[in-house]
């Protein structure tokens, strides 16, 4: 494990027109897209490109997601997405994400990913099957600096 101080990961994005409903408010399903963006960027910073993990026969998939909507984001808002790893289980990663506009929390999210070993590719290059597997040390070590457990 890393000796570095735990850190929260931040990523900024601007709300695009196509992510909004006719009133200019972000459509609720798009917040999960934002969760995916910040988790992928955290992963890139902590471990490296996603495809490197996949080439090693592993993947992490969403097993559970919870979003708490406080106030809407709107077209052209700049959002700061802050993520921390709240827990590393035997096979899972729990991430807490805050979506903010100018220091105001708009949405809080909690997502649990599960590590899976992928089967041999089938038609179209997709795995035939997946099986839950333990998080390898290289993933744990990479994520360690972003682990800030829940109080």
40-62 per-position pLDDT tens digit = 999 999 999 999 998 888 999 99
Whether residue 2 lies inside any domain: the answer is no
CATH number at residue 111: 3.10.129.10
Give the pLDDT score at 150: 84
Give the pLDDT score at 29: 96
- Give yes or no for residue 1 having a pLDDT over 50: no
Q: Does the global pTM surpass 0.85?
A: yes
Total domains present in the chain: 1
- Give yes or no for residue 125 having a pLDDT over 90: no
Whether residue 151 lies inside any domain: the answer is no
Whether residue 80 lies inside any domain: the answer is yes
Q: Residue 116: give the domain boundaries.
A: 9-144
Tell me how crowded residue 27 is: count the other CB atoms within 10 A of its CB: 14
CA distance 36 to 34: 5
Question: How far apart, in Å, are the Cα atoms of 11 and each of 18, 41, 78?
Answer: 20, 7, 10
């Amino acid at each position: 494990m890393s000796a570095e101080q735990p850190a929260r990961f931040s990523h900024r994005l601007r709300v695009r027109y196509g992510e909004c409903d006719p009133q200019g408010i972000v459509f609720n399903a798009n917040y999960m897209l934002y969760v995916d963006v910040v988790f992928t960027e955290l992963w890139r910073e902590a471990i490296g490109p996603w495809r490197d993990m996949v080439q090693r026969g592993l993947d992490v998939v969403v097993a559970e997601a919870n979003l708490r909507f406080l106030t809407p984001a709107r077209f052209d808002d700049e959002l700061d997405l802050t993520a921390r790893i709240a827990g590393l289980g035997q096979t899972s990663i729990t991430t807490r994400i805050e979506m903010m506009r100018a220091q105001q929390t708009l949405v809080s999210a909690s997502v649990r990913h599960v590590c899976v070993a992928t089967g041999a590719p089938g038609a179209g290059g997709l795995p035939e099957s997946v099986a839950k597997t333990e998080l390898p040390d290289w993933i744990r070590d990479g994520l360690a600096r972003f682990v800030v457990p829940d109080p």
